[in-house]
């Protein structure tokens, strides 16, 4: 169970110190293997749930906290845990070179092209030549 803690005799001043205090409390509880009930955290810090939820959401996005849905005293709430590993940003590399080579993207008639029309991709000599070249290329 959490108890009201006086943080160096100071009031909560600003978002950074509130983030630090929440992180510190959750980190200590996680070391004990407990985690912290979100509603209890608001009570201990003397803040409303709206303000606290915004800060916790920011810490979750940063990868510093994790939360788990639980039922506490008959109400649905969340239990917060400290995340030891900060998530690294995901980089996805996509090679668009094969797409750029398709003749349709450089064709002046692309807006008029369509199946059954005057400019028909099924009868296009540029597209046919491109597809034939692809079939005879050696695999990468």
Give the closest residue to 23 by CA, choosing from 86, 89, 87, 81.
81
Please report, in tens digits, the pLDDT of each residue of the chain (140 residues total).
444 444 333 344 455 588 899 999 998 888 888 889 998 999 999 998 899 999 999 998 888 899 999 998 898 999 999 987 665 667 888 888 878 889 998 999 999 999 999 999 999 999 999 999 888 876 65
Total domains, the chain: 2
**Alpha helices for 82-124 (secondary structure H):** 97-100
Whether the model clears a pTM of 0.75, i.e. scores above it, the answer is no
In this structure, the answer to whether residues 32 and 74 fall within a common structural domain is yes
- Whether residue 88 is contained in a domain is answered as no
Residue 95 CB neighbours (<10 A): 7
CATH number of the domain encompassing residue 32: 1.10.10.10
Parent domain of 73 = 15-82
User: What crossing angle do the helices spanning 15-31 and 38-45 adopt, rounded to 10°?
Assistant: 130
In this structure, the answer to whether residues 54 and 101 fall within a common structural domain is no
In this structure, the answer to whether residues 68 and 106 fall within a common structural domain is no
In this structure, the answer to whether residues 67 and 109 fall within a common structural domain is no
């Amino acid at each position: 169970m959490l108890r009201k803690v006086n943080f160096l005799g100071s009031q909560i001043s600003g978002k950074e110190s509130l983030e630090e205090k929440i992180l510190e409390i959750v980190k200590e509880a996680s070391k004990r293997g407990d985690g912290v009930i979100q509603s209890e955290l608001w009570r201990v810090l003397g803040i409303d749930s709206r303000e606290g939820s915004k800060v916790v959401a920011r810490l979750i996005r940063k990868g510093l906290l994790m939360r788990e849905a639980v039922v506490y005293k008959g109400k649905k709430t969340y239990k917060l845990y400290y995340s030891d590993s900060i998530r690294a940003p995901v980089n996805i590399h996509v090679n668009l070179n094969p797409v750029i080579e398709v003749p349709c993207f450089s064709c002046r008639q692309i807006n008029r092209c369509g199946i059954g029309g005057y400019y028909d991709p099924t009868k296009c000599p540029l597209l046919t030549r491109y597809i034939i070249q692809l079939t005879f290329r050696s695999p990468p």
